[in-house]
Structure formats: structure tokens, C-alpha cells
Structure 1
Amino acid sequence: MAKKPHLNLAMIGHVDHGKSTLVGRTFYDTGEIDDTVIKKFEEMGDKGKTFKFAWVMDSVKEERERGLTIDLAHRKFETDKYYFTIIDAPGHQ
């Protein structure tokens, strides 16, 4: 069996431009994150409704309270053709 190519993706950009949200939405759209996880985030109050996809990567309490990524986070997933590693970087450093 052929080995799948491994793609590394780093999300970088300015603060509050949706990097974590894009990563979280990508995991949701590819089926890596279940509906129940997103619904749980939505039920965590007003911030949860706004940041539900960002919280897939921003799992530290302080990140959720402040609404920003404090440190790098990474997660892996695969499709039929590729292995992916996605790195979510803070935008304020």
C-alpha cells in the first residue's frame, strides 16, 4: 500500500482575523469534530456561540476567557489521500 503524503499547514495572520475559527471549521467540515462538541461549546454562553469553532483549538481556559490564542496548538487528521498536521498560531506575537 502506498504511503500518503503528509502536509503541514500553519495558520498565521493578524490578531482577530479568524485563524482558529478557520481551523476549527475545517475539522468540523471534514468530520473530525462531532456536532455534539460544537453544540457543547454553543451552550457555554455568549462567547461559546461566537467562538464555537475557535474553541476546537483554543482549549485553555485563559484563551477562552480572553477570546484569543495564547500559544501554538496543533492537531492531526487524515483524508483518503493525505495526512495533515495543522498548526494554529497566535496573531498577537
Structure 2
Amino acid sequence: SPPFTRRSAMVKDKTHINIVVIGHGNSGKSTTTGHLVYELGGIDRRVIERFEDESAEMKKCGKYAWVLDKLKSERERDIAIDIALGKFETTKYNFSVLDITVTS
């Protein structure tokens, strides 16, 4: 599961927000969604820094995309090939994030 999954800590009386991002491969869905998760506090800065180091070693630019792109093949090819689901919370909201790659 993605590193930002925090299902056990979710409080039921918070408002639940579902975010679904749908688009073609390599259109920036995972990067945008990962950045949103980071900005909302759903993933620790140290994890993003680790992703940044690992992606630099592979000569890829995936620090935010890697929040959702968890398969090695996705990271190597710089493209999401699966549906990614993650859950995280802020002080007011519970979020579910779904990142879907479509083909024409």
C-alpha cells in the first residue's frame, strides 16, 4: 500500500472526501495527486526526500508521482500502469484518492 495510508487512525465523524483523477498515461496524474497528498500533510517530508533521492539515482523525476506509483515497473518507466488507491487524513477530513490511467 502507498506510504501515506493511515486507515487505522481515521476518525469516523470527519467529513470524507473522495478524489478521483482519471487521464491518459504520462499526463501528470500521479505527480499532481502525490503533490496534493504531500501539501495536505498526508505524507511525511522525509518520505518525499527519500523518493527524491531514489528517483535521482534512477535519473527519473518522480518524487511526488512515487507517492502513488508503488510498482517498480511504474517507477522505472515513469508511467503509472495500475489503479492506485490511497487513504489519508487531515485534522478535519478523511481522504480517499484514486488515480486511474486510461487508454484510448
Runs (4 or more) in structure 1 with deviation over 6 Å come to none
Structure 1: 5+ residue runs without aligned partners? none
Compute the TM-score of the two structures, normalised by the length of structure 1.
0.83
Aligned residues, how many? 90
1:16 to 15, 23, 26: 26
In structure 2, list runs of 5 or more residues that go unmatched.
1-11
TM-score, scaled to structure 2:
0.76
- What is the deviation of 1:8? 1.4
Q: Distance in 2 between matches of 1:52 and 1:91?
A: 22
Greater fraction of residues in strand: 2
What percent of counterpart residues are identical?
46
Q: Which residue of 1 aligns with 2:83?
A: 72
- What do you get for the CA RMSD once the two structures are aligned? 1.8
Residues 44-55 of structure 1 correspond to what in structure 2 (within 5 A)? 44=54, 45=57, 46-47=59-60, 50-55=61-66
